[in-house]
Amino acid sequence: MIKKFVFGKPFNTESILNDVKETYSEDKIPFGTVKNTPNFEWEYELGEQDVIYGLGQVMKGINIRGGKYVSWCLDQPNQDENTPSLYGAHNFIIIFGKKTFAVYFDYPGEIEFDAGFTFKDKIQVKAEKKSLNLYFIESENQNENLKSIVNQFRNLTGKSYVPPKWAFGFMQSRWGYKNAADINKVIENHKKYNLPLDSVCLDIDYMEDYKDFTVDNKKFPNFADYTKKLLQKNIRLVPIIDAGVKLQEGYDVYEQGKPYFCKDKEGNNFIAGVWPGDAVFPDFLNKEAREFFGKNYKKLTNCGIEGFWNDMNEPAVFYSKKSLKNAFDKIQDYKDKPLDIQSFFEFSGLSNSSFNRKDDTELFYHKVPQSFAGDFAESTPDKNGNVLVQNRKIHNLFGYNMTRAAAESFAKENPNKRKLLFSRSSFVGAHRYGGIWTGDNHSYWSNILLSLHMMANLNMTGFMFTGSDIGGFSSDTSYDLLLRWLAFGIFTPLCRNHSADGTRNQEFYEFEKTDDFKSMLDLRYALIPYLYSEFVKAAQNNKMYFRPLSFDYEDDLRAIHTDDQILLGEGLMIAPVYVQNAVGRYVYLPEDMLMIEWNNSQIKSQKMLTKGDHFIEVPLESVVFFIKKGKIVPFAKPALNTALLDTTNLTAVGNAPKGTVYELYDDDGFTTQIDVQKSVRKIVM
Ligand code: MIG
């Protein structure tokens, strides 16, 4: 059951697709209280055992109780437990315990969630403006309360994006691949070492002077021919597109876009520094601006490109003119002065002080229809009925609408064929248009577990095509870290090894025992029929691909508090090793399960284990995972590419009675006409 409450005059974020008709009056709020203050403040008393889920991309446990989080889309290169804001804003929480319910705060600006941080037994949610829609959701199924709540929320916000099947193949990436020779080296080495591969990402260096939608001819002569040749080998290139457009007279995207960039208070283009130096920012909240930008993807799709990643769309701002000037002025002030402790620290922070400043978002504006703006408008309507809204107030909608610009243009260009699209920044609603990756993590052991936590909470909010940079983006990875990370990453829909320029080479073939990586990638490909089937079914039925254990075992206290294991689809549970030098780990089984050990590209052993705690040995080169009793999982013969996968010839694995059926969803991998009732094949034990 969903109840909607309207406060003030909300901004229409378009995150809700299938709205509820009835709205309730503010004094009828079923849980907690909204304070009688000019800003928005909701408060709820937590039961001692209450668990809090949600908020998608945050740096804490699956249960996020005890933390304070701020939804404010941010280019945040330091992903650790102390990070309140990341790239996305997913304002959905579930309280599970004494009373079980969810709340969605449909609000486009900064919003703070103090989830038992200041007061252990209180959750407080605060926003600057008391103009928002609140949705309270209660279970409609007493046996599956959590699943019912998520399912209803997802019915509200619309079906999740489904990428083409090749996007489930392995993707190699690195910031630093400069030209065709660098890309060829990746492909050749994958071939040489029999490492599966479906796609290679192109990071910013493929462009001409970091200009969106250009390809540097010197680095990639005859780009279209090149992509076509790669396609014959079933390898696809996935270029990056940045939100900031280079300010350069004569550059066609800049010229065409002039009417569609975000403006400052005086009505001039807002200019800020990002990759290409001075840049301007398409006003993605505006339909015409989305169309202008979206059309430009055609330049690359015309060259045979079938997938993109959208970056820097929080938007990231290295400096505004104002913040840069401030920094230089202050540095001048300090010149020739003796620096005491306080002034020294102020001084030393100055050169970095212009980076992604919140107050810079007060310098630019978006143009939206008056009917969308609620009381967020800062001007009277122009002749087209549009009003100005400040980015600061609706900041979290920017990246979402960049993704939408691309997706809407793809749909227009070819409505029948899926394209790969994933973004860094997001907001609830963007899950309909593309996936996300979890951004700039580090080659730290803790980041494996933090990424598992995000998978659980992101799935609740509809972001299912997601994954972290395997091996870690910043810092130098190590052989064992990369292997353990991959043993988890092969289960995430987006399975990409990505690293930052200047870090240790992180391609699998750069390490001594390449076969160990191959074995894990082989498992990925053997499981693709299952992973794809579970993914598409979850997307179409508004369910989850990854679930915390509590979703299937609501009455099991141990399951509820297991934070380092996760369920995948109907039949699997995974429990990655994330501790350096560990020879294995404790695993909690909420019921009897079949343990599978994968080693040397095949199933090495299968063993039934009883409900309870087990210490499981997990050699570095093995992947150990679990199949629920009575369930089966189909395995394909590993292949080097999704195009070579034989999905008609599958082996059922599981501890289930003869005749047990798995309903496999399968399709051509591209069609947008998905029918999960029709396109299933029965796999029988
Ligand atoms: O300022 O394009 O998160 O994946 O490699 C850094 C270079 C810009 C940030 C992305 C990262 C990408 C990098 N980008």
DSSP string, 322-358: HHHHHHHHHHHHHTTSPP-HHHHHHHHHHTTTTTT-G
Residue 534 backbone phi and psi in degrees, to 5: -65, -40
Q: Residue 335 has what pLDDT?
A: 87
CA atoms within 13 A on the CB side of 480: 11
Gap from CA of 373 to ligand 1 centroid (Å): 32
Classify residue 384 as exposed, middle or buried by CB count within 10 Å of its CB (0-12, 13-18, 19+).
Answer: exposed
Closest Cα to atom 5, ligand 1: which residue? 175
Q: Which atom of ligand 1 is nearest to the CA of 440?
A: 3
On whether the CB atoms of residues 364 and 270 are closer than 8 A, the answer is yes
pLDDT at 338: 86
| pLDDT for 351 beyond 90 | no
Q: Report pLDDT for 146.
A: 98
Close Cβ partners of 637 (under 8 Å, ≥ 6 residues apart): 526, 646, 649
Which atom of ligand 1 is found nearest the CA of 242? 2
Please tell me the distance from the alpha carbon of residue 146 to that of residue 389, in angstroms, as a whole number.
Answer: 37
| Cα angle value 378/379/384 (rounded, 5°) | 130
Mean pLDDT value across residues 486-506 = 98
Q: Ligand 1, atom 11: nearest CA belongs to which residue?
A: 440
**What's the gap in Å between 105 CA and the centre of ligand 1?**
30
Overall pTM surpassing 0.85 (yes/no):
yes
Q: 444 CA to middle of ligand 1, Å?
A: 18
CA of 244 to the centre of ligand 1 (A): 13
Average pLDDT over the chain, rounded to whole?
Answer: 97
Mutate to test the pocket of ligand 1, among 240, 274, 318, 501 (most ligand atoms within 8 A of CB): 240
For 557-563, the CB contacts below 8 A with 24+ separation are 558/588, 558/590, 559/588, 559/590, 560/51, 560/96, 561/63, 562/588, 563/61, 563/62, 563/63, 563/453
- Express each pLDDT in 150-162 by its tens digit: 999 999 999 999 9
Tokens linked to 364: 């630019």
Which amino acid would we find at residue 124? Q
Check if the beta carbon of residue 95 is closer than 8 Å to that of residue 101. Answer: yes
3-class SS at 635?
strand
* Mean per-residue pLDDT, 410-421: 97
Which atom of ligand 1 lies nearest, measured to the CA of 316? 1
Contact present, 223 and 304 (Cβ < 8 Å) = no
Q: Are 593 and 573 in contact (CB under 8 A)?
A: yes
Contacts of 334 (CB under 8 A, 6+ apart): 343, 346, 347, 350
pLDDT tens for 112-125 read 999 999 999 999 99
**CA quadruple 256, 355, 200, 410: dihedral sign:** negative
Please tell me the residue having the least CA distance from ligand 1 atom 13.
Answer: 175
Residue 604 backbone phi and psi in degrees, to 5 = -90, -40
Is residue 27 pLDDT above 90, yes or no?
A: no
Question: Which atom of ligand 1 lies closest to the CA of 274?
Answer: 1
Cα 283 from chain centroid (whole Å): 22
Q: Are 198 and 645 in contact (CB under 8 A)?
A: no
Residue 157 identity (one-letter amino acid) = T
CA distance 390 to 193: 53
Residues whose beta carbon lies within 6 Å of some atom of ligand 1: 175, 203-204, 240, 311-312, 424, 439-440, 498
Report the nearest atom of ligand 1 relative to the CA of 473: 4
From the CA of 486, how far away is ligand 1's center (Å)?
21
Ligand 1 atom closest to 275 (CA): 1
Which atom in ligand 1 lies closest to the alpha carbon of residue 173?
5
Lowest-confidence segment of 340-344, 402-406, 559-563 by average pLDDT: 340-344
Dihedral sign for Cα 34, 35, 38, 39, please.
Answer: negative
Name the nearest CA neighbour of 451 among 440, 626, 557. 440
Residue 685 scores a pLDDT above 90: no
pLDDT higher than 90, residue 42: yes
Q: How far apart are CA 499 and CA 175, in angstroms?
A: 6
The average pLDDT across 525-535 equals 98
CA of 211 relative to ligand 1 center, distance in Å: 15
First to last CA, the chain: 38
What confidence score (pLDDT) does residue 352 get?
A: 85
Which of 78, 200, 205, 312 most suits a substitution to test ligand 1, by most atoms within 8 Å of the C-beta? 312
Q: Which residues touch 564 (CB under 8 Å, ≥6 apart)?
A: 449, 452, 575, 576, 578
Cα–Cα–Cα angle for 606, 167, 304, rounded to 5 degrees: 150
285 pLDDT exceeds 90?
yes
Q: pLDDT, tens digit, for every residue of 8-23? A: 999 999 999 999 999 9
Which is the closest atom of ligand 1 to the Cα of 501? 5
Share of the chain above pLDDT 70, in %: 100
Cα–Cα distance for residue pair 574/486, rounded to 1 Å: 13
Q: Which of 311, 422, 425 to mutate to test the pocket of ligand 1 (most atoms within 8 A of CB)?
A: 311
Quote the ligand 1 centre to 502 CA distance (angstroms): 12
What average pLDDT score do residues 390-403 get?
Answer: 98
pLDDT of 174 above 90: yes
Cβ proximity of 381 and 370 under 8 Å? yes
Ligand 1 mean position, distance from CA 471 (Å): 15
What is the average per-residue pLDDT within 64-91?
Answer: 96
Containing 465, the helix (H) or strand (E) segment is none
- Closest ligand 1 atom to 77 CA: 3
Rounded Cα–Cα distance for residues 213 and 475 (Å): 30
Q: Which of 65-69, 337-341, 430-434, 527-531 has the lowest mean pLDDT?
A: 337-341
Among 309, 440, 469, name the best residue to mutate to test ligand 1's pocket (greatest count of ligand atoms within 8 A of Cβ). Answer: 440
CB atoms inside a 10 Å sphere around CB 460: 28
CA distance 424 to 19: 27
d(CA 311, ligand 1 centre) in Å: 7
What is the number of the ligand 1 atom nearest to the C-alpha of 174?
5
Asked whether 443 and 476 are in contact (CB, 8 A), the reply is yes
Where b means 16+ CB within 10 Å and e means fewer, 326-352 reads: bbeeeeeeeeeeeeeeeeeeebeebee
683 Cβ contact list (under 8 Å, min separation 6): 632, 634, 650, 652, 661, 662, 663, 664
**Protein residue with least CA distance to atom 12, ligand 1:** 175
CB 34 within 8 A of CB 40: yes
For residue 440, report the distance from its CA to the centre of ligand 1, in Å: 7
The alpha carbon of 640 and the centre of ligand 1 are apart by a number of angstroms equal to: 28
Sign of the C-alpha dihedral, residues 232, 234, 235, 238? positive
Distance 467 CA to ligand 1 centre (A): 15
Specify whether the CB–CB gap between 185 and 221 falls below 8 A.
Answer: no
Mind listing the pLDDT tens digit for each residue in 460-483? 999 999 999 999 999 999 999 999
- Counting atoms of ligand 1 from 1, which one is nearest the CA of 203? 2
Mean pLDDT of 498-503: 98
CA of 87 to the centre of ligand 1 (A): 12
In this predicted structure, the answer to whether residue 448 has a pLDDT above a threshold of 90 is yes
Of residues 443 and 339, which shows the higher confidence score? 443
Mean pLDDT of 84-107: 98
